[in-house]
Amino acid sequence: MKLNLGCGDVAPPGWINVDNAVGARLRKLPVLGALSHRFLRCDWSPSILLHDLRRELPWPSGSVGCVYSSHSLEHLTRASGEGFMREVARILKPGGIARFVVPDLKLEVDRYVSGESDARDFLSSLHAVDTRDRPIAKRIYGLLSGSGHRCMYDEASLFGLMAAAGLSARRMAPFESAIPGIAEVERAPQTADALIAEGVKG
Ligand SMILES: C[S@@+](CC[C@H](N)C(=O)[O-])C[C@H]1O[C@@H](n2cnc3c(N)ncnc32)[C@H](O)[C@@H]1O
């Protein structure tokens, strides 16, 4: 079994794709779902399993082979992230693999300190503050697709979070993975400049 947790609009067949965005919930409704799909260009698949990742994951302990989670962990507070990581480790089989893709905090800070990015771009890269006025359609889309960042990670803090849950972590390159079919869920724009860690349950 392969899980894609915090899938957004990346919901390939062969994976159980999980999210709890308002847009994903709307998509389940016959009329509102069709309207949001057509007029707001909400691309959530109606097949998405609705679940809040801050809650206990709905799979038995030791039952899952692979977990993929791209640009979702940073949307949870540090405390919720710890709980989520423990849950991921709980449901994995021994030898099961969990792969996390998150924005690289150190990379963004280095770019700012070196002058490669200015203050506005740096703040924008954190997704923690609103730096631009956005047209109404984009604001509605933002409301439907979820919140900004509640935490950010560098390699040490992400590896530490994984290790505390019992996952031995290794840094990986985009599309380099022990997960079969990784190209089905991984996307080049999401992995460029990202921090990618893969952990194995001991
Ligand atoms: C930036 S999107 C990433 C989507 C996709 N994985 C990708 O890499 O393009 C973050 C996703 O995490 C989901 N998310 C955030 N907090 C969540 C939570 N507590 N439970 C379930 N999904 C959550 C959001 O709804 C959103 O779809």
pLDDT digit string, tens, across residues 69-99: 999 999 999 999 999 999 999 999 999 999 9
pLDDT score at 179? 98
* 73 part of a folded domain: yes
Instruction: State the pairing for strand pair 16-19/92-103.
Output: unpaired
Token representation of residue 46: 């109606």
pLDDT per position as a tens digit, 176-193: 999 999 999 999 999 999
Which atom of ligand 1 is least distant from the CA of 147?
Answer: 15
Q: Given ligand 1 and candidates 17, 19, 145, which is best to mutate, with the most ligand atoms within 8 Å of its CB?
A: 19
* 144 part of a folded domain: no
Model pTM above 0.75: yes
The protein residue with its alpha carbon nearest to ligand 1, atom 1, reads 71
> How many domains is the chain partitioned into structurally?
1
**Rounded-to-integer distance, Cα 174 and Cα 73, Å:** 17
10 is in which domain, residue-wise? 2-104+149-201
The protein residue with its alpha carbon nearest to ligand 1, atom 14, reads 6
* 155 part of a folded domain: yes
pLDDT at 197 over 70: yes
pLDDT score at 31? 79
Report helix, strand or coil for 158: helix
- State the CB neighbour count (10 A cutoff) for residue 56: 12
The protein residue with its alpha carbon nearest to ligand 1, atom 27, reads 8
pLDDT at 136 over 90: no
Report the percent of the chain where pLDDT is more than 90: 73
Q: Given ligand 1 and candidates 72, 87, 125, which is best to mutate, with the most ligand atoms within 8 Å of its CB?
A: 72
Of residues 37, 13, 12, the one with CA closest to residue 27 = 37
Mean pLDDT over each residue of the chain, to the nearest integer: 92
- Average pLDDT rounded to a whole number, residues 38-64: 89
Which atom of ligand 1 is least distant from the CA of 76?
Answer: 16
Ligand 1-lining residues (CB < 6 angstroms): 6-8, 10, 19-21, 52-54, 70-72, 75-76, 145-146, 190
For residue 34, what pLDDT band results from cuts at 50, 70 and 90?
confident
pLDDT at 133 over 90: no
Question: What CATH code is carried by the domain that includes residue 167?
Answer: 3.40.50.150
* 141 part of a folded domain: no
Beta bridge partners, 3, equal 16, 67
pLDDT score at 146? 67
Rounded to the nearest angstrom, the distance between the alpha carbon of 93 and the centre of ligand 1 is 24
* 17 part of a folded domain: yes
The protein residue with its alpha carbon nearest to ligand 1, atom 13, reads 6
Which atom of ligand 1 is least distant from the CA of 21?
Answer: 25
* 194 part of a folded domain: yes
* 131 part of a folded domain: no
pLDDT score at 42? 63
The protein residue with its alpha carbon nearest to ligand 1, atom 7, reads 70
